[in-house]
Amino acid sequence: TLLKLFREHNDEYALRVGVNRAAGTYYHYKNVYRLVSQFIKFRYKVSDVTLKSLDCTFIENFDYYLRVDQRQKPNTIRGNMNCLKSVVYSAIHKGYLTVHPFSDFKVVKPEKKQLHLTNDEFSRLMNTTFDTPNRNFTRDMFLFSAFTGICYCDMRNLTEANVTKDRDGKLWIETHRQKTGTPENVMLLDIAIKIMEKYKNMAEGGKLFPMLSKESYNMHLKIMAKQCGIKRNLSYHMARHTFASLVCLSQGVPIETLSRAMGHKNITTTQRYAKVTTEKIDKDVTALHGNIEEKYSLDGIDAPPSRILKDISKRKVRPSRKLQMMEGL
């Protein structure tokens, strides 16, 4: 049955948490199991369904249930459907199914929103003192991530041993990403160093920072956005997007260098983070104008305008005699 397969999948996944799987993803699968179980009882009035009953209609009905009955947003629906899709893949891999029920179903991709902060939003966040110590701490941790590109789960894992000094005396963070295991080496900018020194020796167990939970950060960031006049919700992960787009790419850092700094295996992943801002386009085009201004010249540009003749593309072309003879055969 479907729910039995789902339980087996989740039990196997739980054994890999902390090895090559994240606890957050495991809890996501558990939540989707709960939703599928509720859906089966709501729609089919039974406690479980056979794997053979899985077809495109079942998938479409579950999508409708999430969208209409649960009032979930497109991104949430997509994440939940992808979890179910992974479980169904495991059924095919084990030989329980021969036809994939998702083959005729496409998960709707929501419109991509701008995840990096604008210059104005970033400045507002940096220059606001908030009403509680935890919100000021949240601001500092968000800014450390925004000036290093280090995501939340890797921030939690940082220790003092990850901070190294090169021959020139510059400080670096050297670590490996929890998600992919790839190296992540970032030179610390002045603001990041000041934040690190501010919270030195405050965390237990040699950790670099006394981190809060991700849920706490996101809760504080939503309130902080209102307090400093940012007219959209903020999340902690937006710091990593801000590092890519605003701090690095807009300042001329090559995307190849950015990809290495962010610990990406593939540069296409970096391209999803690094969005070219309008300020960057304006700066680049202005620089281009200055670079080519004296390099090219157009002969005759100061002469009177040429007489415009009839557009030959609109003339009726008479076929040649040879072509007429061939068409007559």
pLDDT value at residue 107: 75
- Is there a single domain that holds both residue 236 and residue 142? yes
- Whether residue 312 is contained in a domain is answered as no
- Whether residue 111 is contained in a domain is answered as no
- Is there a single domain that holds both residue 123 and residue 266? yes
Closest by Cα among 141, 115, 116, 128 to 229: 128
- Is there a single domain that holds both residue 271 and residue 141? yes
- Whether residue 295 is contained in a domain is answered as no
CATH of the domain at 79: 1.10.150
Provide the domain limits for residue 155. 119-282
- Whether residue 275 is contained in a domain is answered as yes
Low-confidence residues in the chain, pLDDT < 50 = none
Q: What contacts 326, CB < 8 A, 6 or more positions away? A: none
Please give the tally of structural domains in the chain: 2
Closest by Cα among 167, 212, 165, 168 to 193: 165
- Is there a single domain that holds both residue 133 and residue 268? yes
- Whether residue 104 is contained in a domain is answered as no
- Is there a single domain that holds both residue 127 and residue 48? no
- Is there a single domain that holds both residue 164 and residue 209? yes
- Whether residue 287 is contained in a domain is answered as no
Closest by Cα among 186, 205, 174, 107 to 145: 186
pLDDT value at residue 277: 61
- Whether residue 38 is contained in a domain is answered as yes
Q: Is the whole-model pTM more than 0.75?
A: no
